[in-house]
Structure 1
Amino acid sequence: MAALPDALTSVFDEVVRRNPGEAEFHQAVREVLESLGPVIAKRPQYVDAEIIRRLCEPERQIIFRVPWTDDAGRVQLNRGFRVEFNSALGPYKGGIRFHPSVYLGIVKFLGFEQIFKNALTGMPIGGGKGGSDFDPKGRSDAEVMRFCQSFMTELYRHIGEHTDVPAGDIGVGGREIGYLFGQYKRITNRYESGVLTGKGITWGGSQVRTESTGYGTVFFVREALASRGGSLDGRTVVVSGSGNVAIYAMEKAAELGARVVACSDSGGYVVDEAGIDLDLVKEIKNGRRGRIAEYADARPSARFVADGSIWDVPCDVALPCATQNELDEDGAAALIRGGCGIVAEGANMPTTPAAVRALRSAGVVFAPGKAVNAGGVATSALEMQQNASRDSWTFEHTEARLSDIMGQIHARCLETADEYGTPGDYVAGANIAGFTHVADAMLALGVV
C-alpha cells in the first residue's frame, strides 16, 4: 500500500472514521488519494480550500424502505439508496444497481468512482449512484415490476433531468428501466424523457446505449495497444462476466479481430478455444436468463469449470467485466504466468489493490475502470442530448461519437500522466485528470 502525503493521510483517516465498515468506499477513496501527491505539490490551493476533504463527502445520501408484494401475496421489504455525490460539473449521473450485496458502502464507492469517470468524458455531468439489495434473479416480470414501482414511488422526488439522472447497472436493464420510467411518468404526469437513461429505442432511448460500456472498454484497449504499436487483431482475450458489459466487450473485441476464449458467471466459467459463440451466450443469458454452464452443454468445443479462476486461462488481454474485487492477487499471478500483456477494467473496481500492484510490477499494462468503462455514461449523456433536443441519432453516428470520446479519454489519461511525472501510468492519469477537472469547478463555485 502506497504511503499518502500528510495532508491526504488526515483526509483518508477522516473518511474511515466517518464511514465505518464501508470497505469498498475506503478502497475507492484511497486509490484516488494515492495518485494526488504530485497534484497538491503543484497546486496547494486544493488543500487550502479543503477541496479533497469536501470531495470525499457526498452532497446528499438518501436511504428508504421499499415494500412490495410477491406473486404469492406476501409482503417483501428491501432497502433503497441514492447517493448524490457531486454536482460541480452538472446534474448527478450514475446507475442503479439491484443486487443482494448492495449496501450504503457499495453505493458510495460506486458514486465516488462515478465523479471522476464522468469528468473524464468531458460531458457536463456530476457523479451519483443508487440501488437496492433486491435480487431480480428468479423473480417474475410481475414481481420485478411491482418492486420497481415501489422503488420509484420514493425515488421520483429526488431525481429530474436537471437534478439527478439515473441509469442501469447490475440487475437493472431495459426491463427495469421501463418499469421505473413508467412509474415516474405516472406519478409526475410528465413525459420527462431525460430523467432516466438506458430507455428503449422506441421511447426516448439512444442507439448504442446497450452496447456502450462493453464497446467503450474495447475502444480504450484498442487505443492503448495502438499507442504501443499494436492492435487487437489476432489477440487472445478473456472476459469475466456474461452480463451486458461482458457480452458487448466480447462482441466488439471479436469484430476487431480478437479471439475471445472464456467468459463466466457466478457459477463458474467456460473456455472455448474455437472462440466464444456470442449468439449462444446472448440466447442463454438474455433470452432464457440461464447459467453459463449451459453454454458447454451446447458446444462440443467448450468446457465448463465450476471451481477455480477464469484468470487461469492464458490470454493476451484480460477484461474483468463482472463486479468489484473479482481479480485478486492470485488471479493477477495467474495472468502474469499466462502471458497477459494488458488488463482493462470493464467493471467498477474489479481488481484488488494487491492485484493492481502485482500486475504493474510485472510490466502488465493496467487501465482502471473510471477511464475504461466510461463509455456507458458517455453514451447516457448522448442520450440526454437527444432527449433535450427531441432528436434521434443513427447507430453509426452514435458509435462514432462513442469511439471519439474513448479516444479522447485515453489521450487525456496519457497527457496528464506525462504532465505529472508518471508517463504511461493510466491509473495516475485517470485519477488526476478527473480530479483536477472537478476540483477546478468546485473552486469556481465557492464553498458549497
Structure 2
Amino acid sequence: MAMVVNQTKTDTQAAENYISQVFETIKQRNPNETEFHQAVKEIFDSLVPVFAKNPKYMEHGILERMAEPERVISFQVPWVDDEGKVQVNRGFRVQFNSAIGPYKGGLRFHPSVNASIIKFLGFEQIFKNSLTGLPIGGGKGGSDFDPKGKSDGEVMRFTQSFMTELAKHIGPDIDVPAGDIGVGPREIGYMFGQYKKMQKGFEAGVLTGKGLDYGGSLTRKEATGYGTVYFVEEMLKDKNLTFNGSTVVVSGSGNVSIYAIEKASELGATVVACSDSNGYIYDKNGIDIDTVRRLKEVERKRISEYVEEHPDAEYHENCTDIWMIPCDIALPCATQNEIDANAAKILVANDVKAVGEGANMPCTLEAISIFQDKGVLFGPAKAVNAGGVAVSALEMSQNSMRLSWTFAEVDAKLKDIMTTIYRNSVKAAEEYGEPDNLVLGANIAGFLKVADAMVEQGV
C-alpha cells in the first residue's frame, strides 16, 4: 500500500513557488537552450512533494546549485583532413556535479552537439549516476564533429586534437569520460592513446569503454542495451507481463539498440523493426541481429542494406514512422525527442503495453503525459539506460584493482543494479503518493542521494 506524504497545501504551494522561481531563473540564464530547459523541467516537476516535505533543500539552495554546472568547458578542435585542409570543430565538457564522486558521462560526436545538448545530457547524468548506487558524479561532453564518412586517419587526427585539450580537465579521480553517439571503441582507443602519450603513464581509469586488451570491461558494449531490457523486464513482471511472445520495436541500430534487440530476443520477444537516421527496416519474421551487427559495427553501412540480404523485410525512408508499427513493447534507443505526442498517440492506439527509454530523453514531455494518462507502463531514461554508466563504473573499479571480471560476473552485477534501480524507483514513487509513476520515482530516488550529500558538504 502506498504511503502518502503528510503535507499541507501551504507546504505544497511554497514548494511549487520555489521550484517555479528557480526554473524561470534557469530559463533566463540559459536562453534558447530548449533541450536543457526540457530536462530541468521534467526533473523539477517531480520534486514538488520532496520540497514540501523537506524544506531544508530550499534553505540550502539545492536546486539553484544543482542546475548550475560546476564547470563548463568549451574549446576549439583544429584538425587536418585527408586532403590537407584545416578543419575546425568545437569541443565541450560540462562537469555538472561532483557531490557523490568524480564526474562521469559520455562524449558525443554529432553535428547536433551544442551547449544545450551537452547540458541536458549532463544534468540527466547526475540522477542517472546516482541511481546506480555507485560513487560517480554527473558530467557530459562531445563535439559537433561528424565521424560518418570520415576515414580512420581523419577520425584519429580529430580525436587526438580533441584529447589534447580535454586531457587538461580529466583524470581517474576527477572526470572519467566514456562513449556515446558517434564515439565507439575506435574513438575511445585513439583518445586513450593520446592521453597516455601526454601523461607519460598508464592511467587506465581515465576513460571507460576501452578495448579489452588495455583495461576495458567485458559486458561494457552490451551494458546499456542489456540494462534497458533488464529494467523493462522487471517493470513487466510487476504487471504479470513478459517479453516472451511479445512484439517489440526498437529504434536506432547503434550500440544500445543492437544489444537491446539481442537481449529481448533471448527472452522470447520478436523484434520486428529498427532504424538509423535515414530510415527503418521492418521484418515480420524478427530482426536478424547478426546482420544488423555486421552492417553497423563492422562494415559501418546504412540499415537499408539489410533488405538486400533479407528479401522479406521492408525498408522505409522516414525513420520516425517506425512508431506506426503495432507492438507490445516500444524501446526508443536512438536519440532525444524521437517520440512526440503524435507518435505516442499512435502507439497507444495500437495497444502498446510498455515503453522503455533506452536513449537519453527520447520522449517529449507531451508524449510521456499521454503514456501515463493511458496507463502505459513507462520507464524513464535516467533509470532505464543507466546500465551503460553502471558498467563503466565497474570498469573503473576493475582498473583500480588491476584485475578483470568475467562476462558472467559483470552481467550479473549489471542485472542486480538494474533491478535495484527499478525497486528504488518504485519505492520512492510509493512513498510520495504516486505508486505507478516511475518518472517521479526515479527522479526522486536519484535526487535525494545527491541532495543529501550536498547538504552535508556545505555551500
Common fold by TM > 0.5: yes
Partner of 1:92: 103
Query: Under a length normalisation based on structure 1, what TM-score does the superposition of the two structures give?
Result: 0.98
CA distance in 2, matches of 1:230, 1:337: 19
Equivalent residue pairs, number: 445
> Which amino acid is 2:216 matched to?
G
2:129 paired with 1:111: no
Question: Is the counterpart of residue 404 in structure 1 residue 416 in structure 2?
Answer: yes
Task: Give the alignment of 1:376-391 within 5 angstroms.
Answer: 376-391=388-403
Deviation readout 1:289-341 (Å, 9 max, x if unpaired): 11111111211220011136100000000000000001111110111111111
Match of 1:316 in 2: 328
Q: Which residue of 1 aligns with 2:381?
A: 369
1:304 is matched with which residue: 286, 294, 315? Answer: 315
Q: Name the counterpart of 1:144.
A: 155
1:428 alignment partner in structure 2: 440
1:424 offset after TM fit, Å? 1.6
CA displacement 1:196-216 (0-9 Å, x = unmatched): 000001110000000000000
Question: Deviation per CA, 1:195-240, whole angstroms, max 9, x where unpaired?
Answer: 0000001110000000000000000011001111222111110000
Aligned twin of 1:265: 276
CA distances 1:83-125 after superposition (whole Å, capped 9, x unpaired):
0000000000000000000001100000000000000000000
The separation in 2 between residues aligned to 1:34 and 1:51, in whole angstroms, is 15
Cα distance in 2 between the residues matched to 1:278 and 1:142: 29
1:361 CA displacement:
1.0
Does structure 1 residue 290 correspond to structure 2 residue 301?
Answer: yes
Give the corresponding residue for 2:428: 416
Q: How many angstroms apart in 1 are the aligned matches of 2:234 and 2:379?
A: 11
Q: CA deviation at 1:280?
A: 0.5
Distance 2:299 2:132 in 1: 35
Q: Which runs of 4+ in 1 moved over 6 A?
A: none
Corresponding letter in the other structure for 2:392: S
Q: How does 1:8-407 map to 2 (within 5 A)?
A: 8-307=19-318, 309-407=321-419
In structure 2, give the amino acid aligned to 1:155.
L
Deviation by residue 1:373-419 (Cα, 9 ceiling, x = unmatched): 00000000000000000010000010000000000000000000001
Within 2, Cα distance between the matches of 1:428 and 1:242? Answer: 29
Partner Cα separation in structure 1 for residue 433 and residue 375 of structure 2? 18
SS in 2 for 1:5: helix
- In structure 2, the residue corresponding to 1:62 is in which secondary structure? strand
User: CA–CA distance in 2 between the matches of 1:419 and 1:89?
Assistant: 23
Give the partner amino acid of 1:324.
Answer: Q
Distance 1:232 1:355 in 2: 23
Q: Find the aligned partners of 2:344 and 2:359 in 1 and give their Cα distance.
A: 16
AA paired with 1:165? V
Which residue type is aligned with residue 402 of structure 2? R
Mark the runs of 5 or more structure 2 residues left unpaired by the alignment: 1-12
Q: Which amino acid aligns with 2:34?
A: A
Matches of 1:167 and 1:190, distance apart in 2: 19
User: What amino acid maps onto 2:413 in structure 1?
Assistant: R
For residue 109 of structure 1, give the secondary structure of its aligned residue in structure 2: helix
Q: Which amino acid aligns with 1:293?
A: S
Letter of the 2:446 counterpart: G
Give the 3-state SS of the residue equivalent to 1:171 in structure 2: coil
TM-score, structure 2 normalization: 0.96
SS at structure 2 position matched to 1:65: strand
- Map of 2:449 onto structure 1: 437
Corresponding letter in the other structure for 1:125: I
Q: 2:17 aligns with which of 6, 9, 20?
A: 6
- Partner Cα distance (1:250, 1:145) in 2: 30
* Cα-to-partner distance string for 1:162-201 (whole Å, 9 max, x where unaligned): 0000000000000000000000000010100000000001
Identity %: 61
- Bigger drift between 335-344 and 62-71 goes to 335-344
Which stretch shifts more, 298-307 or 27-36?
Answer: 298-307
How large is the RMSD of aligned CA atoms in angstroms? 0.9
Instruction: Give 3-state SS (helix, strand or coil) of 1:219's partner.
Output: helix
Q: Which runs of 5+ in 1 are unaligned?
A: none
Separation in 2, partners of 1:261, 1:301? 12
Partners of 2:183 and 2:358 in 1: CA distance? 17
Between the aligned partners of 1:190 and 1:409, the Cα distance in structure 2 is: 36
